[in-house]
Structure 1
Amino acid sequence: MQTQKVIDHIVSWLKDYAIKANVKGYVIGVSGGVDSGVVSTLCAMTGLEVLLLEMPIRQKEDQVNRAQDHIEDLKKRFPNVEGKTVNLTPVFETFEDTVHDHVEGRWSNNLALANTRSRFRMLTLYYFGQLHGLLVCGTGNKVEDFGIGFYTKYGDGGVDVSPIADLYKTEIYELAKELSLIESIQKAIPTDGLWDAERTDEDQIGATYPELEKIQKEYGTKTADDYEGRDKEVYLIFDRMNKAAQHKINPIPICDIPEEWRD
């Protein structure tokens, strides 16, 4: 990949989009992962106003430390960058206690509650975005957004722009190196940070990003019968998740009303 050309292209795209939208810049949620690290750096390079929000919800200490270190690093490198920490743990726990009495079974660790964390962060990003005249910049990559739908609908999927959604995870690591992100982020194991117990993306998906990328590049031209061994296992994972995620990947369906009924 021609890394520097890709970087220059995205930075120019981000700057042009913000100017045409008549906004001051971007607000980005920083998690301590490589995707948000790369996106926030690209936004900083536009020279526009950039607000980085770290929004912990019972977050692991290493994730918090990486996010804070990255924010401080960007603030030193770019005078247009500001950072804030908004602790959403009390908000989340109030919600958790509120819904507790209305559900049965293992409510504390279910996916619905995990996705709520992401949606609280989306609300926070849009609050500060509107407050400061900034657009919410997404951090989803190509596998997450258009392959397996590994994101929360109206959570981290609720954004104004998606500058790295056409890049695979392995390509984003190339950008991270070229952009001189702090070493801890370049080496961070991908995780969505939505669970109390440590769950990496690979733990949840059952495959690595390089394995998924291989399948995505061939998806639609090959079937499960074209693979064997581990490749077939990953194909079946990708196929299952892709089909289940169509409600995220495709636009919201609209029920069209025949024009003759309007008379």
Structure 2
Amino acid sequence: MFDADVAADRVTAFLDDQLEKTGADAYVVGVSGGLDSALAIALAVRAVGADDVVGVLLPDDPSIEENVADARELCSDLGVEWREASIAPLVEAARETYPADFDKLTVGNLRARVRMCLLYAEANERGGLVVGPSNKSEYQLGYFTKFGDGAADVRPFADIYKTELYELARHTGLDEKFVEKAPSAELWEGQTDEGELGASYETIDAILKALLEEGRSVAETAAATATPVGEVERFAAMHRESQHKRELPPYPDVPR
């Protein structure tokens, strides 16, 4: 049973401990105006104080202005220093310079990796650590860009499912507008997480908990969650096939 009070304490203690243990000077958080990044920066401030947290806003053409405005307002309310820059010129320069016709998914991944570069540039300047706000649902499905939004120094929510983040957000007093938004990485116009994944997070989390936490088979999970077997197998395959995203790059042992 998920306990939001315990989770809040664990996350804040973890963030406090990691900053001290590594000797870093600050946390750098990319703030999109969505739930996960809003909760990440709020808990980082709770853990180490506003002076040791930097917000970075990196919108592009698909970004919804309301989300950008919410990100600005949140940073101001939390009292953190924040920077904002459109990544559109960088993404466009890459598309114009490289001799290939990128499809929609490739451009979306490019946007995520451009953001990663700038977050780490900020971290370099600050002697800081990049906070990755990906939740357990995304992490276990590989629903993130490798070396893009999947690149981080700490992942405070990697063991917290998306539906549990809603509980955690309400418990910590985060503005309800962040909870009510349709989850989206805004990698292209009209993109939403649940639309792309083809199921609600309530369904996805129930499937993942049955498969990963309870060790049920695909057939058992389908019966327990009242989900078609083919749908369960699709998510089980996403988990299996994205294992490389959750590991360091492999290398061969060389005998000596």
Fold similarity call, TM over 0.5: yes
Deviations 1:136-169 (A, max 9, x none): 0110111111x21000100011110111110011
**Contact 2:211/2:218 (8 A) holds in 1:** no
Q: Distance in 2 between matches of 1:134 and 1:187?
A: 31
Instruction: Determine helix, strand or coil for the equivalent of 2:32.
Output: coil
Equivalent AA in structure 2 for residue 53 of structure 1: V
1:123 aligned to 2:135?
no
**Contact 1:56/1:64 (8 A) holds in 2:** yes
Give runs of aligned pairs for residues 110-259 of structure 1, distance below 5 A. Answer: 110-145=104-139, 147-195=140-188, 197-219=189-211, 221-226=215-220, 227=222, 230-258=227-255
Q: CA 1:238–1:45 in structure 2 vs 1: closer, same or farther (change >3 Å)?
A: same
Instruction: Determine helix, strand or coil for the equivalent of 1:219.
Output: helix
Q: Distance in 2 between matches of 1:137 and 1:204?
A: 24
The aligned residue for residue 38 of structure 2 is 37
* C-alpha deviation, 1:231, in angstroms: 4.2
* C-alpha deviation, 1:28, in angstroms: 0.3
Q: Distance in 1 between matches of 2:245 and 2:59?
A: 25
Instruction: Determine helix, strand or coil for the equivalent of 1:164.
Output: coil
The aligned residue for residue 73 of structure 2 is 69
**Contact 1:212/1:234 (8 A) holds in 2:** no
* C-alpha deviation, 1:31, in angstroms: 0.9
1:84 aligned to 2:83?
yes
- Higher mean Cα deviation, 122-131 or 179-188? 179-188
**Contact 1:215/1:234 (8 A) holds in 2:** no
Q: Percent of aligned positions with the same letter in both sequences? A: 33
* C-alpha deviation, 1:114, in angstroms: 0.9
Unmatched tracts of structure 1, length 5 or more: 76-80
Instruction: Determine helix, strand or coil for the equivalent of 2:56.
Output: strand
* C-alpha deviation, 1:233, in angstroms: 4.1
Normalising by structure 2, we get a TM-score of 0.90
Normalising by structure 1, we get a TM-score of 0.88
The aligned residue for residue 92 of structure 2 is 93
Q: Distance in 2 between matches of 1:199 and 1:212?
A: 18
* C-alpha deviation, 1:222, in angstroms: 3.0
Q: Distance in 1 between matches of 2:230 and 2:45?
A: 40
- Higher mean Cα deviation, 214-223 or 51-60? 214-223
Q: Distance in 1 between matches of 2:77 and 2:167?
A: 19
Q: Distance in 1 between matches of 2:44 and 2:118?
A: 19
The aligned residue for residue 78 of structure 1 is none
Q: Give the CA RMSD over aligned residues.
A: 1.7
Instruction: Determine helix, strand or coil for the equivalent of 1:144.
Output: helix
Instruction: Determine helix, strand or coil for the equivalent of 1:45.
Output: helix
- Higher mean Cα deviation, 23-32 or 58-67? 58-67
Give runs of aligned pairs for residues 104-115 of structure 1, distance below 5 A. Answer: 104=101, 107=102, 109-115=103-109
Unmatched tracts of structure 2, length 5 or more: none
